[in-house]
């Protein structure tokens, strides 16, 4: 396998109770993905639990990623930077794939790029993933290609909403109308997301940190109040329906 003596010692120091044959089979599968020996050991250092898995599991997971349009370079990148992809349940990956494909209408190639550039999406709440897309697509009027290239799913939902709504209330952002027109020139989604907080506040919003922090607190209160009102409305609707049901039974 081309391992140096020091690398062999390092390998056998990870998960010391893993059977030697299983250990070597896992290393072999990672090397077959095109990883160097150093990269393979780094992957196992990050996720030593891989040494307790069968080589078939590693191979099946790589095949699943290939079905999602991953090329060898993408597989290598994912293995090195997000080795948890091999330990997550296959069902979890398929659920995210279906969400992005069926509800968000991304193509297979776009899903592949999203997973490669933002693998942490696999660990997020499904509701947050869908809401991020809906916020960008419907509220901001951003199309699929720009969403993918912007790195939308790398940012937290809270930060996206804070920045966009802050710009909106300053008159620096406007939701496009049905024809995609706005009365202001909206900044690009990529610029909004990737700017550091100081650059966003000073250069994009032309504001101050104090004003932005106050806005975030006020927005959080607004959303909490709205959430409570919605919960109260749902309870009232449920109570009304139960009352109607009891009336029908007595009749």
Confidence band, pLDDT 50/70/90 cuts, at residue 79: very high
3-state SS string for 38-72: HHHHHHHHHCHHHHHCCHHHHHHHHHHHHHCCCCH
Q: Taking the model in full, what pTM does it have?
A: 0.85
Over 90: is that where the pLDDT of 150 sits? yes
- DSSP string of 126-180? HHHHHHHHHIIIIIS---HHHHHHHTGGGS-HHHHHHHHHHHHHTTS-----TTS
| Distance, CA of 237 to CA of 182 (rounded, Å) | 38
Confidence band, pLDDT 50/70/90 cuts, at residue 220: very high
Over 90: is that where the pLDDT of 38 sits? yes
| Distance, CA of 31 to CA of 75 (rounded, Å) | 12
Compute the average pLDDT of residues 163-172: 97
Domain ranges of the chain: 1-82
Over 60: is that where the pLDDT of 251 sits? no
Confidence band, pLDDT 50/70/90 cuts, at residue 249: low
| Distance, CA of 248 to CA of 215 (rounded, Å) | 49
- pLDDT: which is higher, 51 or 251: 51
The model's pLDDT over 184-211, given as tens digits with 9 standing for 90+, comes to: 999 999 999 999 999 999 999 999 999 9
Compute the average pLDDT of residues 61-86: 93
């Amino acid at each position: 396998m081309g391992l140096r003596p020091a690398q062999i010692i390092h390998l056998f120091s990870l998960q010391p109770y893993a059977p030697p044959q299983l250990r070597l089979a896992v290393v072999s599968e990672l090397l077959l993905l095109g990883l160097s020996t150093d990269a393979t050991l780094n992957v196992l250092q990050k996720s030593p639990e891989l040494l307790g898995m069968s080589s078939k599991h590693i191979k099946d997971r790589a095949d699943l990623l290939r079905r999602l349009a991953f090329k060898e370079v993408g597989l290598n990148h994912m293995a090195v930077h997000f080795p948890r992809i091999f330990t997550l349940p296959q069902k979890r990956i398929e659920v995210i794939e279906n969400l992005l494909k069926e509800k968000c209408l991304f193509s297979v190639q776009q899903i592949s790029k999203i997973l490669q550039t933002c693998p942490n999406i696999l660990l997020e709440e499904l509701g947050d993933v869908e809401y991020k897309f809906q916020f960008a697509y419907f509220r901001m009027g951003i199309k699929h290609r720009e969403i993918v290239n912007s790195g939308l799913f790398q940012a937290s939902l809270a930060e996206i909403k804070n920045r966009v709504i802050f710009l909106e209330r300053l008159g620096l952002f406007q939701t496009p109308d049905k024809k995609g027109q706005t009365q202001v020139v909206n900044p690009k989604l990529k610029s909004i997301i990737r700017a550091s907080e100081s650059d966003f506040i000073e250069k994009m919003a032309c504001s101050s940190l104090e004003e932005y922090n106050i806005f975030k607190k006020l927005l959080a209160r607004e959303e909490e109040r709205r959430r409570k009102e919605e919960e109260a409305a749902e309870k009232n609707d449920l109570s009304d329906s139960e009352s109607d049901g009891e009336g029908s039974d007595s009749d």
